[in-house]
Amino acid sequence: MTIFGQAAELVLSADAELMAVVGLSLRVSLTATLIASLFAIPLGTALAIWQFPLRQVLVVISTSMMALPPVVVGLIIYLLLSRAGPLGAYGILFTPTAMIMAQSVLIFPIVLALTREAILPLDRDYKNLLDAWDVSPLQRLKTLIWDARFAVVTGLLAGFGRALAEVGAVIIVGGNIAGFTRVMTTTIALETSKGNLELALALGIVLLSIAITINTAIHWISSFGRKYQVKR
């Protein structure tokens, strides 16, 4: 049987080792996306609609964070969590929690920037109407996030995709420990170097399938959202 055949068999038979790796990947990346979104969506909206001191500085910093190399993020989180670091006492280095932290930092600027991009034009459209009703700042924030929900969700999916495909940060802070912190990307890197190509390829197939699913969802949600946008 060829390597491709063996890889396909691993996927189709839902091989236990493969499923464990896929499961951990999804758990880590979904949690990181959720945590990053809790902060990035309100902050991205606030940066789009409110004028306050240092707003432009925050915009520049958050945009610059999108270009952060994952290995640098991994290194910073490593230094924070290592025994000599300020959070060393918690003992979470080389655990899924550390991986979630690293991925959250990587996703945060992406979700923030995409939320801000989605809210900016909507706020321009709505401003006069919401002013005419004297809508409170909190209600305005909720209204804009809800009405930009399709664009915001596509931003979340983009962040999730980025987290799932990331390897540099999670390998540093997770340590790639078999059965504990080994996710799809780090397993592919390791198994390829060991010459165990069928498992690497099987994980590649799963990763690619998830990426295609995410992009299909982004496309579908965007199309659906456009039905609610006024044509100009």
Partner 1 sequence: MTALKLTNVSYSVDGAPLLHDISFVQENKGVNAILGPNGAGKSLLLSLIHGVIKPDMGLVTWNGISAQRNKLTRGYVFQTPIVLRRSVRANLAYPLTLTRENTQDQKLAIDEMLKLSHLAPLADQPAASLSGGEAQRMAIARALITKPAVLLLDEPCSNLDPASTKLIEAMIRTFVSDGGSVFISTHDLAQAKRLADVVLFIEAGQLLEHGPADEFFAKPATPQAQAYLSGDL
3-state secondary structure of 69: coil
How is residue 101 written in tokens?
A: 């932290």
Q: Does 223 bind partner 1 (CB under 8 A)?
A: no
Compute the least distance from the CB of residue 50 to partner 1, in Å: 18
For residue 111, give the nearest of 170, 168, 39 by alpha carbon: 39
Q: Does 147 bind partner 1 (CB under 8 A)?
A: yes
Asked if residues 33 and 162 have their Cβ atoms less than 8 Å apart, the reply is no
- Choose which of 19, 135, 153, 205 interacts with partner 1 (CB under 8 A): 135
Q: Does 231 bind partner 1 (CB under 8 A)?
A: yes
- Stretch 109-128 residues interacting with partner 1 (CB under 8 A): 122, 125-126, 128
For residue 43, give the nearest of 132, 114, 112, 145 by alpha carbon: 112
Compute the least distance from the CB of residue 148 to partner 1, in Å: 8
Compute the least distance from the CB of residue 23 to partner 1, in Å: 36
Maximum Cα–Cα distance across the chain = 70
For residue 71, give the nearest of 162, 167, 168, 165 by alpha carbon: 168
- Choose which of 13, 56, 63, 139 interacts with partner 1 (CB under 8 A): 139
For 212-223, letters b (16+ CB in 10 Å) and e give: eebeeebeebee
* Closer residue to partner 1 (CB): 41 or 81: 41
* Closer residue to partner 1 (CB): 148 or 164: 148
Give the Cα separation of 191 and 154 in Å (integer): 32
Compute the least distance from the CB of residue 119 to partner 1, in Å: 12
Q: Does 228 bind partner 1 (CB under 8 A)?
A: yes
CB atoms inside a 10 Å sphere around CB 86: 10
Interface residues toward partner 1, by CB under 8 A: 122, 125-126, 128-129, 131-135, 139, 143, 147-148, 225, 227-231
